[in-house]
Amino acid sequence: MDRPGSEPIAEEPWVVPDDGWTAPTTRAPIPERPSPAPPTPSKQPVTRPTSGPAPVTVVYEVTGSGEADIAYFDAESDLIHVDSAKLPWRTTIRTNGPSRVRLEADWVDMEYHGLLECTVTISGTGTPVVLKERSYGSIWCAPE
């Protein structure tokens, strides 16, 4: 007997319409992930310009523990990217002047907040210039 205000109750058995779907009987194999390739620069950096006397030596350094993504200007003022560089990292170039000198670094693991330090040493024209910055995240060093 239905009570006033109550929903009618369906009787057993429930009938589910057939929508054509059937459950798979086996799992599809999970493809193997290829091992990551070793880090390589975005292009081969030029360590000495193709023209001019190259009187300026620039030493780029990034220190910390772990791996960082690094970007810097080479001797031809091209931006070079080095992904997942093992720290400490260092490279030296000879260039025509300090106008296009810049070093940037970011932790590969953005959750990691260890100390990251960049140093740029420019020598060859007058007194050597040393730029040094420390941070727990993204960092960059460049002459002002």
Q: How many domains does the chain have?
A: 1
Q: How far apart, in whole angstroms, are the C-alpha atoms of residue 111 and residue 136? A: 11
- Please check whether residue 136 lies inside any domain of the structure: yes
Q: What is the CATH number of the domain that holds 128?
A: 2.60.40.2880
Look at residue 35 and tell me if it is in a domain: no
Q: What residue numbers bound the domain in which 127 lies?
A: 56-141
Q: Is residue 48 part of a domain?
A: no
pLDDT tens, residue order, the chain (144 aa): 555 666 666 566 655 566 666 666 666 566 665 555 555 555 688 888 888 888 999 999 999 999 999 999 999 889 999 999 999 999 999 998 888 899 999 999 877 778 999 999 999 878 889 999 999 888 999 987
For residue 68, the tally of other CB atoms under 10 A from its CB is: 27
Measured between alpha carbons, how far is 54 from 52 in angstroms, rounded to an integer?
Answer: 6
